[in-house]
Amino acid sequence: MIALQNITKTYRSRGQTVDAVRDITLHVEKGEIFGIIGHSGAGKSTLIRCINLLERPTSGSVTVGGTELTKLGGKELQRQRRKIGMIFQHFNLLSSASVRDNIAFPLRLAGMKKTAINARVDELLSLVGLEEHGNKYPAQLSGGQKQRVGIARALAADPEVLLCDEATSALDPQTTNAILSLLMDINEKLGLTIVLITHEMQVIRSICDRVAVMDGGRIVEMDTVLNVFLRPSHPVTRQFVNELADPSGAVPVARRAGGKLVRLHFVGEQTYEPVLFEALKGTGVQCAILEGTVARMKHTPYGQLIVELSGNGPDIESVIDSLRRSGLDAEVIG
């Protein structure tokens, strides 16, 4: 659906050149939710704006739905852009227009007839749960409601792709979860391809299928969300994953001499099975649970435990081997 090939975006300022994005190649499959994460200044906003050519790459090609956008200009580029919706961190609504008029705005630009516009706006208000708010103005809405208007407006022209530029960064956690649930629902109902950028790993974990991690204008790691969580390879990725597991950054310390700290990852239905109990049974090894979380990666249950195993050294190794044979990712961390 989306193919970026060797994309570089260079800015020139005061006689200096800065590569905001450097030689990036990636492919996004039709119908997937693809996340791009990075710290401020990593280049993720520039990259997502290259997809619809709001930022034209200095070099490289952008292809969406089989059409190479970087070869287009003028009216043809404008026509192809209608297939790409976009929502923004700060909503970008018309403050003097009602909710209905904000949603209808791109349809009026496209020359759609009034009766068709009204029907489409009604449909979109229902989709985003704002049926009772059509005649209100942005100043009368909460942040979450404003973002729902932004989503409805982005969907007005029935796009094939939805780009989300830090769409939840200005929202509180509860509202963020509601907007993410809405985006996942839209993805599943409409088969829409979604690309989102964020600096929050919780957003990636909640709804994305795959993720690219950016640092210094480059993609430093890219894989399924599950693999990135289980086996992060780049220091920036490990930082994001560790911050989500424990925002304080504190690492538990073994309390007993000879004890081993082990981080266990549970995936799927195994999250709810007594795998640890079965591995310990009859071994004489004692287990203390120091930390634990259970969450979901999109639709997949996922759990993490940090445990201290104490007892006879060979018996501890036997327990760890048993856990790994059962399919758990068991990492000795101390």
Q: What is the DSSP letter of 40?
A: T
Domain boundaries defined on the chain: 2-83+159-243, 260-332
Task: Work out the percent of the chain whose per-residue pLDDT is above 90.
Answer: 70
Per-residue model confidence as pLDDT tens digits over 40-83: 999 999 999 999 999 999 999 999 999 999 999 888 998 999 99
Query: Is 260-332 in the same CATH topology as 2-83+159-243?
Result: no
Element housing 139 (H / E): none
Average pLDDT of span 167-182: 92
Cα dihedral sign for 244, 248, 249, 255?
Answer: negative
- Mean pLDDT (the chain, rounded): 91
Answer yes or no: is pLDDT of 248 > 90: no
Strand partners, 218: 215
Residue 257: the pLDDT is 65
Q: Between 304 and 107, where is the model more confident?
A: 107
Average pLDDT of span 312-320: 91
Structural tokens at position 247: 């925002």
Nearest C-alpha neighbor of 230 from the set 200, 268, 195, 203? 268
Element housing 290 (H / E): strand 286-297
Answer yes or no: is pLDDT of 107 > 70: yes
Residue 251: the pLDDT is 57
Residue 301: the pLDDT is 86
* Contact predicate 104/149, CB 8 Å: no
Average pLDDT of span 270-298: 88
Determine how β-strand 218-224 pairs with β-strand 59-64. unpaired
Residue 253: the pLDDT is 60
Per-residue model confidence as pLDDT tens digits over 9-36: 999 878 889 999 999 999 999 999 999 9
Residue 299: the pLDDT is 83
Average pLDDT of span 288-294: 86
Distances from the Cα of 168 to the Cα of 98, 142, 196, angstroms:
22, 13, 10
Answer yes or no: is pLDDT of 199 > 90: yes
The CATH number of 2-83+159-243 is: 3.40.50.300
Q: Between 26 and 272, where is the model more confident?
A: 26
Per-residue model confidence as pLDDT tens digits over 130-174: 999 999 999 999 999 999 999 999 999 999 999 999 999 889 999
Label residue 329 by pLDDT band (50, 70, 90): confident
Residue 245: the pLDDT is 65
Answer yes or no: is pLDDT of 214 > 60: yes
The CATH number of 260-332 is: 3.30.70.260
Answer yes or no: is pLDDT of 244 > 80: no
Residue 61: the pLDDT is 97
